[in-house]
Amino acid sequence: MFKQQYEAYRQLVEKYLAQLPWDESLICNSMNYSLTAGGKRIRPVLALACIELVGGQGLDFIREVVALELIHTYSLVHDDLPAMDDDDFRRGKPSNHKVFGEATAILAGDALLTYAFELLAQPSSTPPEKQLRVIRETAKAAGWQGMIGGQVLDTLGSGQEYTLADIENIHRQKTGALLVASARLGAILGGGTEDQIEQISHYATLLGLAFQIKDDILDISSEQAILGKPVGSDLKQDKKTFVSLLGLTHAEKRLAETVAAAKCCLEDFQDGAQFLLSLADYIAQRNT
């Protein structure tokens, strides 16, 4: 049931992405190259599930949830650049800058980010104050207090002696902030109460940590052909990770504990949260 529902959500996202009005310009080709390179679409799927958890209709807000995927894709394009993680492959294909050059990749990332907010700001039947709240929270999550702030700490922190608390703080921003924003966007647009929004936010915060712990595990235990990008890149750049601090066995234990804690946040939703409970398991069990 979970796989079928996940695929139904993902297909809604893919259908909307396929209808975006690209032209034949270099910048559009670069943007679309990374957007259509595959991916699990976890952020828009999470948003759609949270919309429906609080009683909304996901299809009513497909434009807004797709904006989240544009922001995520921009971050990946920039992450792969030589000045950042310097990765030549993403999702089994050459990274954007290896195909289009560094300058175009930088501009494509910029264009994806700004296009996301164009989508979020388009005329809507959503009450203006709710739409503004979504735009403001998404911008904060993507910016210096969220994803960018975490990326700065992660990128410039190679070789530093970070503690476990430091690593968790970095990834609450770098990985977790956009996942939390996705969940909150869904809960807000779907008409959730403030209590529901906060419960969903706590779940998504822990989901983000679980996602990063699993990423760190995969970085040393997977293979490039499966992962779709080079393995061992964190080790190569001397980045501190959950695995380097805890060891593989304890990192896997921490992952299981984090997933269990995330599930506890949804107890008040009872049977309605089954998809999100299964999503937490999926995050922990994925191999890419």
Rounded mean pLDDT of 17-40? 96
* pTM of the shown model: 0.94
Query: Tell me, what's the pLDDT at 154?
Result: 87
Rounded mean pLDDT of 194-219? 96
Using CA atoms, how far apart are residues 98 and 118, in angstroms rounded to an integer? 28
Residue 90 sits at φ, ψ, to 5 deg, of -145, 125
Residue 287 confidence (pLDDT) above 90: no
Residue 128 confidence (pLDDT) above 60: yes
Residue 203 confidence (pLDDT) above 60: yes
Using CA atoms, how far apart are residues 99 and 102, in angstroms rounded to an integer? 9
C-alpha closest to that of 192 among 93, 276, 116? 276
Query: Tell me, what's the pLDDT at 233?
Result: 63
- For residue 63, count other CB atoms closer than 10 A to its CB: 12
| Residue 143 backbone class (left: φ over 0; alpha: ψ -120 to 50; beta: rest) | beta
User: Cβ neighbours of residue 57 under 8 Å, at least 6 residues apart?
Assistant: 51
pLDDT (tens digit per residue) in 47-91:
999 999 999 999 999 999 999 999 999 999 999 999 998 999 999
Residue 93 sits at φ, ψ, to 5 deg, of -125, 155
Long-range Cβ contacts of 90-95 (<8 Å, 24+ apart): 90/34, 90/37, 90/228, 90/229, 91/37, 91/38, 91/39, 91/228, 91/229, 92/38, 92/225, 92/228, 92/229, 93/37, 93/38, 93/228
Q: 159 or 275, which is more confident?
A: 275
Query: Tell me, what's the pLDDT at 210?
Result: 97
Catalogue all structural domains in the chain, each as residue range(s) with its CATH number: 2-285 (1.10.600.10)
Using CA atoms, how far apart are residues 197 and 21, in angstroms rounded to an integer? 33
Are 178 and 147 spatial neighbours (Cβ–Cβ below 8 Å)? yes
- For residue 36, count other CB atoms closer than 10 A to its CB: 13
pLDDT (tens digit per residue) in 140-176:
999 999 999 999 998 877 667 889 999 999 999 999 9
Query: Tell me, what's the pLDDT at 98?
Result: 98
| Secondary structure letter of residue 89 according to DSSP | E
Query: Tell me, what's the pLDDT at 223?
Result: 58
* H or E segment to which residue 94 belongs: strand 93-94
For a pLDDT cut of 70, what percent of the chain falls above it?
93
Using CA atoms, how far apart are residues 65 and 126, in angstroms rounded to an integer? 14
Report in angstroms the alpha-carbon separations of 162 from 79, 207, 240, 277: 21, 22, 7, 31
- For residue 245, count other CB atoms closer than 10 A to its CB: 16
C-alpha closest to that of 227 among 126, 127, 87, 101? 87
Rounded mean pLDDT of 204-223? 90
Residue 206 confidence (pLDDT) above 90: yes
Sign of CA dihedral 93, 99, 105, 111: negative
